Amino acid sequence: MDRVVAAKVFIDVAQSRSFSRTADRLNMSRPMVTRYIEAMEDWLKIRLLHRTTRKISLTSAGEACLKDVELWLEQADNFISLVNTNDELSGLVRITSSMSFGFSQLMPAIQDFMTQYPKVRVDMDLEDSAADLTEKSIDLAIRIASNPDPSLIGKPIAVCESVLVASPEYLDKAQQTVGRIQQPQDVSQHDCLGYKNFEQHIWHVSKGDQFESISVNCRLTINEATAILHGTLNGAGISMLPTYLANRPLQDGRLRHVLPEWKPKDLIIYALYSSRKHLSPNVRALIDHLERYFAQHPW
């Protein structure tokens, strides 16, 4: 049996603690995963895994040799990539992203990648909660954050700017009852839309070297940015939205800037992956593609 593939199977099982999840991730049958593990144990002449009906765990010998197998596999992958420089990318890549970014920006970037590499298949999981990459067999997570998960490796691929916006209808109506918005603290007198998972709704904005924190009244809270956009378009109040969602309705007049001179804090869009040293060529190519694509297609 192929020892490189067997090493990949062993390392994946050591992370996933599940033959079934590894089979799904590596696109092979569960019995084939078992055969590769047994082959590794025969070659190394040690038992690598404790197996029960409920649990799989590394033996002490398996734990001791795991890092050496990872190092050997990294060297093997590097050697293979040098020898097979003309090989075309193929196989499956599993990605997760927030729904709003996935719908509005990630889909065209992924379609462009698949056009360039027609043998690559992509499976996308769109959700706003943080997914466990190992448990869900995810190769790459696209997340917007100020401090990404320290257990993952993160490469910045773009910047996420935000703006304060409201519909013209809301602003015209509110001006008659609450008054014009002339400074940041005026926003606290208005209806606002916020993210559901925050206990306190405080918006931080800056203008030059001035900084303000606004405690906002979020009568409507939602757990997904696209729904917040549509609530704002329907006149529910003021919201803080990423520019990748807000720019188009701002350009066509369906939204207006609120305090355009005041800027919310920028966040970084990261490509996150598990801390495995042997990153697949497909994932490496996709990360590089996304970084280039978003630099060439600003929103």
Per-residue pLDDT reduced to its tens digit, 189-210? 999 999 986 667 999 999 999 9
CB-side neighbour CA atoms (13 Å) of 190: 31
* Whole-number pLDDT of residue 131: 65
* Whole-number pLDDT of residue 3: 87
Tokens standing for 36?
A: 């590769």
Based on the number of CB atoms within 10 Å of its own CB, is 180 exposed (0-12), middle (13-18) or buried (19 or more)?
exposed
Degrees to nearest 5, angle at CA 112 with 107 and 116 = 145
What own/partner pairs with CB < 8 Å and gap ≥ 24 does 173-180 have?
A: 173/235
Region label for 292, one of left (φ > 0), alpha (ψ between -120 and 50) or beta (otherwise): alpha
Alpha carbons 62 and 164: distance in angstroms, whole number: 54
What domains are there in the chain, each with its CATH number? 3-83 (1.10.10.10), 91-158+268-296 (3.40.190.10), 162-265 (3.40.190.290)
* Whole-number pLDDT of residue 181: 96
Q: What is the share, in percent, of the chain residues with pLDDT greater than 70?
A: 92
Instruction: Give the list of residues 6+ apart from residue 89 with CB closer than 8 angstroms, or none.
Output: 117, 119, 120, 281, 282, 285
Alpha carbons 203 and 160: distance in angstroms, whole number: 16
Rounded to the nearest 10°, the torsion over CA 7, 12, 13, 17 is 160
* Whole-number pLDDT of residue 137: 74
Alpha carbons 95 and 20: distance in angstroms, whole number: 19
* Whole-number pLDDT of residue 220: 94
Condensed to tens digits (0 to 9), the pLDDT of residues 107-147 reads 999 999 999 999 999 999 998 777 677 667 788 999 998 88
* Whole-number pLDDT of residue 72: 86
| Residue in 191, 193, 152 with CA at minimum distance from that of residue 174 | 191
Condensed to tens digits (0 to 9), the pLDDT of residues 162-171 reads 999 999 999 9
Alpha carbons 191 and 170: distance in angstroms, whole number: 9
* Whole-number pLDDT of residue 281: 87
Contact in structure between 203 and 138 (CB atoms under 8 Å)? no
Which stretches of the chain drop beneath a pLDDT of 70?
77-87, 131, 134-135, 197-199, 275-278
Which spans in the chain are helix H? Answer: 3-16, 19-25, 30-44, 60-83, 99-101, 107-116, 168-177, 225-233, 243-251, 281-296
